[in-house]
Structure 1
Amino acid sequence: MKSYISIVLLSLLFSSFTTKEQFSVKTEQSTIDRDLLVTYAKQYLGVPYKYASSNPDAGFDCSGFVSYVYGNFGLTLPRSSSGYKNLGKTLKPEEFKVGDILVFYGYKDRTVVGHLGIICEANGMKSKFIHASSGKAQQVTITALDTEHYTKRFYKCIDVLSE
């Protein structure tokens, strides 16, 4: 019995030395706190980009990151960026809020949805968003929407939290 207790205590002690704080927020409420959602998302800054992954230990692609973050709050979203083409209420720039999802066309094909991000600082077309970037950053990062790379690919901003 003493050895079992020692193992449990050592496990607890070891787990307190993890390098990344883990939030574990689940809610069945009809509304999700937008600021809490962004705070949760920001804990994954620096996690590497990994195609077709929604695993924070392995890395994220853009849709994997978005679905993982919202999934933590009990909201199931499409796992593929193409699933966002007809999803959510489309917003005008003056309606953008923290927690809304930015939807972008692909880098090469301007007819197919190819990238997603979550608004973390709302300011219309000058908003900033957190996303898993396959570009230069190759990680979860925060980017300004008003960079040429993203403004020319911008498709829409959607609110999935107020539906």
Structure 2
Amino acid sequence: MTTASLPHGHTARRVLRLSLALLLAALSAPLLAANPPPAVSNIPATPAPSDPLAAMAPVELATPDSAPIAEQLQALQAASAAPSTSTRVKTVLQRAFALLGTPYRWGGSSPDGGFDCSGLVGYVFRSIGIDLPRVSRAMANEGVAITDRTALAEGDLVFFGRRGRVDHVGIYVGDGKFLHAPRTGRDVTVSSLTSGYWAQKYMEARRVAVGG
């Protein structure tokens, strides 16, 4: 079947997924060469698909909880190019962005089964050998508190909640954006920390030491 014969929505989504897959591959090469991922026994290994698009779940183009795909790609490029970001933090960001489009599942902690918010964050940090508590409330006690929102840096954990109680977590990716697993019916995505729903629910941030 040729591209011209595909329905318009399917063609657009396939092109966008291919763009994201190619960008991830290009940005991953120097990082993986400088900092090969450690073996992590509690993350199940999955065989590499023959089709590069098979590894990327569909990314919604626009939802109340997500930035348009162009903004997500810009966030990935900016985070990877940030001169102040260490190689280890860039590795965290690479692995987080590779999970864009993975479905939300309450209690989920793997790409195959889906993620909830803390399952996603825990999975990404375990991939570089850092174990975090399983729930967002406990994660909010890790690392060093960042009290000034303008001092946030790529790789920081950002927390949200209501009535003074943390109930959501994501990974800050720079430029006022963070990556997270929002809620049932949504996929792993990039959202704004400076406006809209999540800006109103923001509570605090923590910086976990990841090394150079």
TM class by shorter chain equals: 0.7 to 0.9
Indicate conservation of the 8 Å contact 1:84/1:113, yes or no. Answer: no
Task: Give the drift of 1:15.
Answer: 4.4
Task: Give the drift of 1:94.
Answer: 2.9
The CA distance in 1 between the partners of 2:49 and 2:117, in whole Å, is 29
The CA distance in 1 between the partners of 2:141 and 2:101, in whole Å, is 30
Task: Give the drift of 1:85.
Answer: 3.1
The CA distance in 2 between the partners of 1:17 and 1:139, in whole Å, is 21
Report the more deviating stretch, 44-53 or 110-119.
110-119
2:169 maps to 1:120: no
- Corresponding residue number in structure 1 for 2:92: 37
1:47 aligns with one of 77, 83, 102? 102
The CA distance in 1 between the partners of 2:124 and 2:93, in whole Å, is 9
- Corresponding residue number in structure 2 for 1:132: 181
CA RMSD, 1 decimal: 2.3
2:152 maps to 1:96: yes
Name stretches of at least 5 consecutive residues in structure 1 with no aligned partner. Answer: 1-12, 22-30
Spell out, residue by residue over 1:14-50, the C-alpha distance to the aligned partner (whole angstroms, 9 max, x if none).
84336227xxxxxxxxx86111211111111000000
Point out the structure with the larger strand share. 1
Task: Give the drift of 1:153.
Answer: 1.4
- TM-score, reference length from structure 1: 0.73
Task: Give the drift of 1:151.
Answer: 2.0
Indicate conservation of the 8 Å contact 1:100/1:161, yes or no. Answer: no
Indicate conservation of the 8 Å contact 1:110/1:153, yes or no. Answer: no
| 2:95 aligned counterpart, secondary structure | helix
Count, aligned residues: 134
Distance 1:65 1:159, change over 3 A: same
2:180 maps to 1:146: no
| 2:55 aligned counterpart, secondary structure | coil
2:190 maps to 1:155: no
